[in-house]
Structure 1
């Protein structure tokens, strides 16, 4: 059973009010000897201070921890910009903690670092948690929210993201509507996000009575380098169009294709997922399924503070130059 403030007070032989003052670091309201006893009892019992919605509204604590999974693509800077917009609007502060790139040890360390501070809540940007980490978050007594990622392991009601199944469907339908049949999905990983996009792709291909060869789905890590590495398989498979897991992956494919002497988009059409500035600096410019990352960041803060239900941020196709009709 989860320890309560009463359990800590009893173990330290003090009142619950004293425990509250010590754990809130209200210096000058307790003796240091008392503080040591309270903190030792809290540590021994595994108790962490609970910040209620009422305390959030009263702005007792104004700092929000933002934990970032350092992915190999470039979308999260726009998410951070949106988060900062909302922090300014709500008069909140933030601390940013990096969790490596899908590194469980670093993510656990980042969560613990956030919990060691006096924060009002936690935003986890593109962070893939395991069961142990999710338990840690559930037991900490703080509101938390996943940003740009969702799935069963992340508990319904605690995410702000784009709908990845919809993203896969939009991209695939766009290519099918332009007459393509040999369509690849390249650069996705095997995480929840990648599998959701794969499901959207498969749904549309099946509805169009198009058979998907196993090799048409090429896994990767969303990076520019990975796009270059995947190009030989794309060429060997004689795909006429590809959906790329990120703008950076698309940029890597375009570079490799041009070095191989291909004429884009005539020889190969490309539609990317994300819609960042990269789409405007490639040649040809990239048609994309664009996510509103800035809005996602803004909305994640509002959703966290208002204890709102999970929400999807709208996505849309932005047509540029990288897709032709067959």
Structure 2
């Protein structure tokens, strides 16, 4: 599927031409002024013209049609998540090389806040956006598509939209690789603790189960524990494994791993002597601990660089022949000392 040619923001002049009136009159009506009389017919013509052109009020004084402002917007759901922090740093470095500045916002996974931020960025006439969407991401990005504003979706695919630029981590292989490494060290009874979510992070669990089946291993239902994304939830979900016969746990998210590791240490469980651990994600604490943890790196630097490259391609190239960029960045096993060799 080929991309549509990028559209330009409609200006007051465009609305005035379509409504067959002056720019001053359009400005007066759209600003809802009541200082002078305007006929209902003229008011209706202006409002209809603005609607047809998808005109949106600019927060930039006398916005200059067709000229780039040199500003990009980045929306992420969690500021305190090292995964997104590292991606933002990579995006900012790449943007700077292209002469752009970035405006960073966090949505805290609130779809209403996300919609408000996107609306504000449109009004600010940003040149493009990189968004890791909330559950309402599809609806909240509709206006970007109608206006032809360049955007790239990060990590969480849009539901119900076929053609758009997407860059994210290979979540399925994160879970798959974790299990394969444990199996290579002789482990056959492996548990999984993960985030119970509709977004693509749940693919980590699917990768885990696929690897277990591929290796012909027993898979008990109680070996998979899912819950909310929090450290206390990781603590709670780890407890059932203390009285089980599993020898290793794959933590599907590093935030949940924090709580799980806390529980193991409080109970005097030694890593890796008593329990082996693999963590998906690489927060700094995993490498500062003794022992250092074996982790699955999600290559945040590369994700940020590829996302920025895709956005710049969309901003700078207005041809109608470019294909949509869809890419999952490969994960990488980072060996530590948290896995005991059983074979």
Same fold, TM-score > 0.5, yes or no: yes
Separation in 1, partners of 2:246, 2:53: 55
Q: Given that residues 244 and 271 in structure 1 are in contact (C-alpha distance below 8 angstroms), is that contact kept between their aligned partners in structure 2?
A: yes
Map 1:110-189 → 2, pairs under 5 A: 110-125=117-132, 127-150=134-157, 153=160, 155-189=162-196
Question: CA–CA distance in 1 between the matches of 2:210 and 2:195?
Answer: 16
Assess if the C-alpha contact under 8 Å between 2:73 and 2:129 holds in 1: yes
User: Equivalent residue for 1:216?
Assistant: 223
Residues 1:60 and 2:68 aligned together: yes
The 1:195–1:248 alpha-carbon spacing in structure 2 relative to 1, beyond 3 Å, is closer
What is aligned with 2:325?
Answer: 309
| Alignment partner, residue 318 of structure 1 | 334
Q: CA deviation at 1:234?
A: 2.5
Higher mean C-alpha displacement, 254-263 vs 31-40:
31-40
Question: What is the TM-score of this pair, normalised by structure 1?
Answer: 0.81
CA distance in 2: counterparts of 1:215 and 1:9, whole angstroms? 66
The aligned counterpart of 2:320 is none
CA contact (8 A) 1:144 1:158 kept: yes
Contact 1:123 1:147 in 2 (8 A): yes
Structure 2 residue aligned with 1:53: none
1:294 aligns to 2:301 (yes or no)? yes
Q: Name the SS of the counterpart of 1:87 in structure 2.
A: helix
Q: CA deviation at 1:299?
A: 1.9
| Contact 2:178–2:296, Cα closer than 8 Å, also in 1 | yes
State the Cα RMSD in Å.
Answer: 2.8
Which residue of 1 is the match for residue 321 of structure 2?
none
Farther off after superposition, 183-192 or 198-207: 183-192
Equivalence for 1:98: 106
Provide closer, same or farther for how the CA distance between residues 203 and 258 of structure 1 changes in structure 2, counting only shifts above 3 A: same
The whole-number CA distance in structure 2 between the counterparts of 1:9 and 1:183 is: 67
Instruction: Judge conservation of contact 1:186–1:230 (CA < 8 Å) in 2.
Output: yes
Q: Where does structure 2 lack aligned partners over 5 or more consecutive residues? A: 1-6, 32-45, 57-65, 315-323
Pair member with larger Rg: 2
TM-score by length of 2: 0.78
Structure 2 residue 96 is the aligned partner of structure 1 residue 88: yes
Where 1:108 maps in the other structure, the secondary structure is helix
Does residue 198 of structure 2 align to residue 191 of structure 1?
Answer: yes
In the TM superposition, residue 131 of structure 1 has moved relative to its aligned partner by 3.9
Aligned residue for 1:258? 265
The CA deviation at 1:155 is: 3.8
Q: Report the Cα distance in structure 2 between the residues aligned to 1:156 and 1:319, rounded to whole angstroms.
A: 37
CA distance 1:305–1:132, shift in 2 (3 Å):
same
The whole-number CA distance in structure 1 between the counterparts of 2:296 and 2:266 is 26
C-alpha distance 109-290 of structure 1, shift in aligned 2 (>3 A): same
**Equivalent position SS for 1:94:** strand
1:227 matched to which residue of 2?
Answer: 234
In the alignment, is the contact (CA less than 8 A) between 1:272 and 1:288 conserved in 2? yes
Match of 2:281 in 1: 274
Q: Which runs of 5+ in 1 are unaligned?
A: 15-29, 50-57
SS of alignment partner, residue 75 of structure 1: helix
**Using a 3 Å threshold, how does the CA distance of structure 1 residues 245 and 155 change in structure 2: closer, same or farther?**
farther
Aligned to 2:59: none
Q: CA deviation at 1:134?
A: 4.0
What number of residue pairs does the alignment pair up? Answer: 300
C-alpha displacement of 1:74: 2.6
Structure 1 residues 62-110: Cα deviation after superposition (integer angstroms, max 9, x where no partner): 111111112764321111110110111111011122211x222222222
